[in-house]
């Protein structure tokens, strides 16, 4: 596990589902000097302040669109976790420039401020929707990923390193299908877009642990992708709302039938690292890691990591156990 003892962390979007769980983990297990929560919602900051009373936790109101505010709040920061984003697909489609300002220009502001402040490591959270994007949200996150990877060229031989973590659906996160299904269960009908639809699944704790591990081993300029199980959406609905009628409503604009975490075009740049994959921006960096660790291998030319052809699958029983573990049921 990464050594964060006496370090200062800066978490954008820190009041979100991931941010709260990440903060609790780091405060309880990793002895940081401080964690600065940077977000724009004063109510959510107030609620988080009430639920976590720790003097090491600091709160700064601000928007990732505002470079001057980011720069001012990032003084003496060692590590940055960039989780802030405009994430709702319909909202992004209806307000494209707002998504671009937050997800693209906001990413560039984080990069520039991190370089100016001499931050040691920056991890940005991505999404499966950034791989072969089918909607504006995915396109903005792909652009954000590219910005963070290319930022290592700006850093040069300086201290700041930038990498990206990409994974699928997080159980119980705000805006995900699981809370929606629980709500629909009370109404008495479960809308499903397509009976064939599949998704990757990861718990909040697994996501937090993977981000911390990635931050520890990152070289800069790579996308970390965990190996996680798949499950069909219709089976998810059966676990959450057994015996509740299901209504097929059809795929919405910009929605994919199956999630993709690594495309065929990325295969040539992807290494199998045991419990995760790494997609490299630089061929030299990829070769260096390959030569330094015999257990790491290059994936095949026709490799493609999607939720339909995944080798790991959740059963209804194992998915139900995860819901209990996450205190969702």
Residues belonging to the active site: 129
Contact 103, 140 (CB under 8 A): yes
Helices (H), the chain: 17-29, 42-51, 67-73, 89-94, 96-100, 106-117, 136-155, 177-187, 204-217, 233-240, 283-292, 316-325
Contact 271, 178 (CB under 8 A): no
Type and span of the H or E element at 60 = strand 57-61
Name 291's Cβ contacts closer than 8 Å, sequence gap at least 6. Answer: none
Burial class (CB in 10 A: 0-12, 13-18, 19+), 278: buried
38 phi/psi in degrees, rounded to 5: -115, 115
Q: Based on C-alpha coordinates, what's the Rg of the chain?
A: 20
Q: What angle do CA 199, 326, 197 make, to 5 degrees?
A: 15
């Amino acid at each position: 596990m990464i050594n964060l003892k006496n370090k200062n962390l800066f978490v954008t979007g820190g009041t979100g589902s991931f941010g709260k769980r990440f903060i609790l983990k780091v405060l309880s297990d990793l002895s940081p000097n401080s964690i600065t929560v940077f977000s724009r919602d004063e109510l959510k900051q107030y609620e988080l302040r009430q639920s976590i009373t720790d003097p090491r936790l600091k709160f700064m109101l601000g928007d990732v669109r505002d470079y001057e505010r980011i720069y001012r709040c990032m003084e003496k920061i060692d590590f940055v976790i960039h989780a802030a984003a405009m994430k709702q697909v319909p909202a992004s489609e209806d307000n494209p420039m707002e998504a671009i300002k937050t997800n693209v220009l906001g990413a560039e502001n984080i990069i520039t401020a991190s370089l100016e402040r001499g931050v040691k490591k920056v991890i940005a959270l991505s999404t499966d929707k950034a791989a072969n994007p089918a909607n504006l949200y995915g396109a903005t996150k792909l652009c954000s990923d590219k910005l963070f990877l290319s930022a290592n060229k700006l850093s040069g031989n300086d201290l700041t390193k930038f990498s990206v973590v990409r994974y699928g659906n997080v159980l119980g996160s705000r805006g995900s299908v699981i809370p929606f299904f629980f709500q629909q269960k009370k109404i008495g009908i479960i809308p499903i877009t397509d009976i064939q639809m599949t998704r990757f699944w990861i718990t909040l704790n697994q996501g937090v642990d993977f981000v911390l591990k990635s931050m520890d081993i990152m070289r800069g300029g790579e996308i970390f992708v965990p190996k996680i199980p798949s499950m069909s959406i219709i089976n998810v609905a059966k676990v959450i709302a057994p015996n509740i009628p299901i209504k097929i409503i059809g795929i919405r604009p910009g929605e994919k039938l199956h999630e993709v975490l690594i495309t065929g075009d990325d295969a040539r740049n992807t290494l199998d690292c045991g419990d995760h994959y790494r997609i490299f921006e630089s061929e030299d960096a990829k070769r260096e890691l390959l030569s330094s660790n015999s257990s790491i291998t290059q994936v095949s030319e026709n490799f493609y990591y999607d939720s339909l052809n995944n080798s790991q699958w959740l059963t209804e029983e194992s998915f139900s156990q995860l819901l209990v573990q996450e205190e969702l049921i």
